């Protein structure tokens, strides 16, 4: 069979790096556009069949060139926070980009598009700018793709694995704070899904035409509150820290303060996303024949004593003795 080619937008990110490794293993020729080729090269490592291209993906001409001659396009680009607070940053990154990708796919006659969305994405009733803009992107793809561009949409809960932004963020916070972690929206529910299960779902979709026109929610086997997850991380790290759940008013205040902290470690928009549980009504992994792995089974491999941070901490301790 002739080599198939795919453009992976967001291929340099947490999910993208794993997906690119799996695509390469299946013989795909991969193009990854990035704002920072040197940084992306470090994250992706050596993949002979992968080309990194410095590109502004919001430039329609550039996007058209990236989609040219591809058998498939995968969109993993996403942001959790915008610079301002009016939602325009989210709309540009999620909805406008989706419209640009659909247009570029039509122009280049690409007939397969995989779109990464999120659970609770809803253009009209989404709880946050993030979720509304993800919903707008989905609506554009459903309504504007037409019969020649076969799409599949994925809606994961929070994704975990080495290098994730979720477990690692709480691990960092827990290590940093002396005694007590005040936690916003402690009762928010998640069904954390392993990054390799998400990758398997994308690979399955690429290989199976029956997934075209389908939306797959992606969840792990366990429904956990945010407090459950943070306590699991704390226990794995072996840290004596109290995790104090904040009431709603205090969670909102914490978010409002963090809106003005550089890098927005937490934001009012994040707070709003946490007001809806991120759990599946029907797990798409089961529909795809994938048995999901639990956070409790995988997390010890990458944080705590067995993870890189744990190893570094042990080296530091032994060096200072
Ligand atoms: N991780 C999760 O728990 C989770 C849960 C639900 C949904 N999702 C969705 O899954 C997708 C992948 O998530 P991820 O965790 O892998 O994200 P990530 O690590 O933050 O990677 C996102 C990618 O988007 C690109 N990007 C970010 N800002 C950009 C900008 N302003 N212009 C152009 N490109 C930009 C980055 O590429 P460069 O920096 O190389 O340009 C990066 O490779 C996202 O759409 C996210 O919303 C993630």
| Secondary structure element (H or E) that encloses residue 150, with its range | strand 150-156
Per-residue pLDDT at 57 exceeds 80: yes
Topology at the third CATH level for domain 5-156: Rossmann fold (3.40.50)
The stretch 209-230 carries a mean pLDDT of: 98
Contact, 160 vs 193, CB < 8 A?
A: yes
Mean pLDDT of 275-292: 98
Confidence band for 239, pLDDT divided at 50, 70 and 90: very high
Give yes or no for residue 306 having a pLDDT over 50.
yes
- Tell me how far apart the 2 most distant CA atoms of the chain are, in Å: 67
Q: What confidence score (pLDDT) does residue 321 get?
A: 42
pLDDT of 314 reads 45
- Please state the pTM of the whole predicted model: 0.95
Question: Does residue 320 register a pLDDT over 90?
Answer: no
Q: Residue 304's pLDDT is what?
A: 79
Using the mean position of ligand 1's atoms as its centre, give its distance from the Cα of residue 10 in Å: 6
Query: CA 269 to CA 76: how far, in whole Å?
Result: 20
> How does the average pLDDT of the chain come out, rounded?
94
Average of per-residue pLDDT across 210-220 = 98
Stretch among 61-65, 164-168, 311-315 having the lowest mean pLDDT: 311-315
Sort 223 into a burial class: Cβ within 10 Å, 0-12 / 13-18 / 19+: middle
User: Hey, which residues does 5 pair with through a beta bridge?
Assistant: 29
pLDDT-based confidence at 240, cuts 50/70/90? very high
pLDDT value at residue 54 = 98
Q: Among candidates 201, 237, 203, which has minimal Cα distance to 220?
A: 201
pLDDT in tens, 59-90: 999 999 999 999 999 999 999 999 989 999 99
Distance 7 CA to ligand 1 centre (A): 15
Q: Where are the domains of the chain?
A: 5-156
Q: Look at residue 232 in the predicted model and tell me its pLDDT.
A: 98
Ligand 1 is surrounded, with C-beta below 6 A, by 10, 12-16, 34-36, 40, 57, 76-79, 93, 116, 118, 156, 158-159, 165-166
DSSP letter assigned to residue 163: T
Cα–chain center distance at 321: 40
Q: Which residue bears the tokens 């926070």?
A: 81
CA of 320 to the centre of ligand 1 (A): 38
d(CA 139, CA 134): 9
């Amino acid at each position: 069979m002739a080599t198939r080619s795919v453009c992976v937008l967001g291929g340099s990110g947490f999910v993208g790096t794993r997906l690119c490794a799996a695509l390469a293993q299946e013989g795909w020729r991969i193009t990854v556009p990035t704002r920072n080729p040197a940084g992306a090269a470090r994250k992706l490592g050596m993949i002979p069949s992968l080309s990194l291209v410095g590109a502004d993906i919001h430039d329609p001409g550039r996007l058209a060139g990236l989609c040219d001659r591809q058998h498939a396009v995968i969109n993993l680009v996403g942001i959790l926070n915008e610079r301002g607070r009016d939602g325009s940053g989210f709309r540009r990154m999620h909805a406008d980009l989706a419209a640009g990708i659909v247009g570029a796919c039509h122009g280049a006659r690409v007939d397969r598009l995989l779109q990464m969305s999120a659970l609770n994405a809803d253009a009209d009733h989404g709880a946050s700018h993030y979720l509304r803009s993800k919903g707008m992107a989905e609506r554009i793809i459903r309504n504007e793709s037409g019969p020649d561009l076969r799409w599949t949409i994925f809606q994961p809960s929070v994704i975990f694995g080495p290098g994730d932004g979720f477990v690692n963020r709480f691990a960092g916070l827990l290590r940093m704070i002396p005694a007590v972690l005040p936690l916003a929206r402690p009762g928010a529910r998640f069904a954390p899904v392993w990054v390799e299960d998400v990758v398997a779902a994308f690979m399955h979709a690429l290989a199976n035409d029956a997934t075209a026109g389908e939306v797959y929610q992606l969840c792990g086997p366990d429904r956990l509150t945010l407090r459950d997850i943070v306590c699991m991380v704390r226990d794995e790290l072996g840290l004596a820290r109290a995790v104090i759940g904040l009431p709603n008013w205090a969670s909102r205040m914490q978010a409002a303060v963090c809106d003005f902290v550089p890098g927005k470690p937490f934001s009012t928009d994040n707070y709003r996303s946490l007001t809806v549980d991120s759990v599946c009504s029907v797990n798409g992994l089961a529909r795809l024949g994938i048995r999901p792995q639990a956070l409790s089974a995988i997390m010890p491999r990458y944080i705590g004593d067995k993870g890189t941070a744990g190893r570094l901490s042990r080296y530091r301790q032994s060096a200072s003795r």
